[in-house]
Amino acid sequence: MEIFNTREIAVGIWIAVIFVTAIFWEESRSLIIKFIKLFFKRALFSPFILMTLYIALVVYHLEMFGFWEPHQTKNTFVWFFLVELTTFFRLDNISRNPSYFKTALKDNIKIVMVVQFLVSLYTFHLAIEIVVFPIICIAVMILDIAKRDLKLKIVERLFTAIIGCYGIFLVLYSIYKLFTSFDEIAKRQTLYDFATPILLSTLLLPLIYFFSIVMNYEIAFFRLRYLIKDTLLLKYTKFKAFYNFGLKTKVLKRWIDSLMSKELTNKTQIDLSIKELRDTLNLEAAPPIVQLSDGWSPYLAKDFLDSEGLGTEYYRLYEGEIGQASSPYVDIGDGSTLNVIAYYVNGEADIAKKLKLVLDVHEVHQYVEAHSKLLSSAKKLHKVALGTSLPNNLTQAIINGKNLTTRFQGRIKVAVSKIDWPSERGYNLNFLIEIEA
């Protein structure tokens, strides 16, 4: 039985060519040396060793319970270099992404694993694999660059289509081979080939979670050092942080953010800041009732447009009196335009007074889709905030981009406003619901 298939051999050949070229090229050689020196520094090398030992321990126990066999050594090494190392060098991004662990487990059991498995099982002649591999790599790199720049959406679509067509061809070829050579796939080893990467990726998650916790605390404590100069007070603050927040790193980050505008000189202030955050969290869990004539509970208003993809973070207080929550700017449609929309909630400590949708139209020739998104969000906001459907006159004002101000129950202002930019290359179209004094 062959140890490596032709695709793996082709990949190995190209990696060797790239490595040898880099060694003989002076600039790349200096970068490789710098990378090696950086890698062996304690901050990187220690977690890498820990991760490697952890996987070795996982493999040992999988073999003990019959879920891993020696013939999976090659697949395990391939997984190590393609998945574990990639995850290792992405730890910083993972620690900043609270939704990573919600999707990671799902990703491991998606049907794409089956597709990748079938695609890898059947390969072409070595010469074909050697030619195709760099072409696909270049296409993937161009696609990655295009995704980072909204101006390259056409390029992104083109190369997505190219890579997609190649993937479809591989899948169809694999299905053909599956029916004509079923005896090759109906083996016990095949089951291991399929299960091993899923098991290893899933069992890696607890360690990644541990690293994520550690890194979040390191970032928090690094910020604390700039806020608190007193050594004893700093130690006390670190202890209180870990004692009160534990594994709740999102709450930890929120607490650190709340401290940035404060002058911390004693333990009482630290304890008070934690109490204030706990009180806020309790309010968010059970928001007090606010009469419509006064406004809205900010802890409810911030989530009014979650279903529209315009969810905000928590309601932030500035100087204890002024509050705001805002969504990030969201691309309109499939993101192929520069038109974006955002949602804002403004008010006082416990009452939101202003709900606002802001539409930035950079590409005027695609205004219809942008206005449609604003209209759907405005209908949702009007319904949930005021309990009634959006009136026809406001609907037409949004569709046509016209200024219009109306009143609801006297004190509540509902308005559509358009602001043309001086450059004449775009405009803002806003929808506002506000409690007036």
87 and 166 share one domain: yes
pLDDT in tens, 171-207: 777 677 666 665 655 555 666 667 777 788 888 888 8
Question: What average pLDDT does the segment 122-128 reach?
Answer: 80
Our measurement of the distance from residue 97's CA atom to the centroid of its chain's CA atoms, rounded to an integer in Å, reads: 5
The pLDDT value given to residue 114: 45
Question: What average pLDDT does the segment 318-322 reach?
Answer: 71
Residue 65 counted as domain residue: yes
Question: What average pLDDT does the segment 379-387 reach?
Answer: 95
The pLDDT value given to residue 132: 85
Residue 412 counted as domain residue: yes
Lowest mean pLDDT among 106-110, 114-118, 127-131, 276-280: 114-118
305 and 403 share one domain: yes
Total domains in the chain come to 3
- Measured between alpha carbons, how far is 291 from 313 in angstroms, rounded to an integer? 23
57 and 123 share one domain: yes
312 and 380 share one domain: yes
Question: Binning pLDDT at 50, 70 and 90, where does residue 112 land?
Answer: very low
pLDDT at 119 over 70: no
pLDDT at 105 over 70: no
Q: Which amino acid is at 292?
A: L
Domain boundary among 192, 214, 236: 214
125 and 260 share one domain: no
The pLDDT value given to residue 81: 77
Domain boundary among 285, 316, 334: 285
Residues 6+ apart with CB under 8 A from 272: none
- Mean pLDDT over the full length of the chain: 82
Residue 1 counted as domain residue: no
302 and 280 share one domain: no
The pLDDT value given to residue 109: 53
Could you tell me which of 201, 170, 36 has the C-alpha nearest to residue 105? 201
184 and 247 share one domain: no
The pLDDT value given to residue 122: 64
Residue 222 counted as domain residue: no
Domain boundary among 285, 306, 323: 285
The pLDDT value given to residue 434: 94
206 and 238 share one domain: no
10 Å Cβ neighbour count for 373? 22
Lowest mean pLDDT among 91-105, 214-228, 310-324: 91-105
pLDDT at 53 over 80: yes
- Measured between alpha carbons, how far is 390 from 157 in angstroms, rounded to an integer? 36
Q: Which residues pair with 416 in a beta bridge?
A: 404, 431
73 and 164 share one domain: yes
The pLDDT value given to residue 258: 84
Question: Which domain does 427 fall in, by range?
Answer: 298-435
The pLDDT value given to residue 66: 84
Question: What average pLDDT does the segment 311-340 reach?
Answer: 79
344 and 236 share one domain: no
Residue 291 counted as domain residue: no
The pLDDT value given to residue 133: 83
Residue 143 counted as domain residue: yes
**Could you tell me the end-to-end alpha-carbon distance of the chain, in angstroms, rounded to an integer?**
81
Question: What average pLDDT does the segment 353-371 reach?
Answer: 91
259 and 203 share one domain: no
Lowest mean pLDDT among 3-7, 25-29, 177-181, 290-294: 177-181
The answer to whether residues 312 and 325 touch, using CB atoms and an 8 Å cutoff, is: yes
Stronger pLDDT, 387 or 5, i.e. the higher one: 387
Residue 397 counted as domain residue: yes
Could you tell me which of 325, 309, 421 has the C-alpha nearest to residue 374? 309
Residue 345 counted as domain residue: yes
151 and 264 share one domain: no
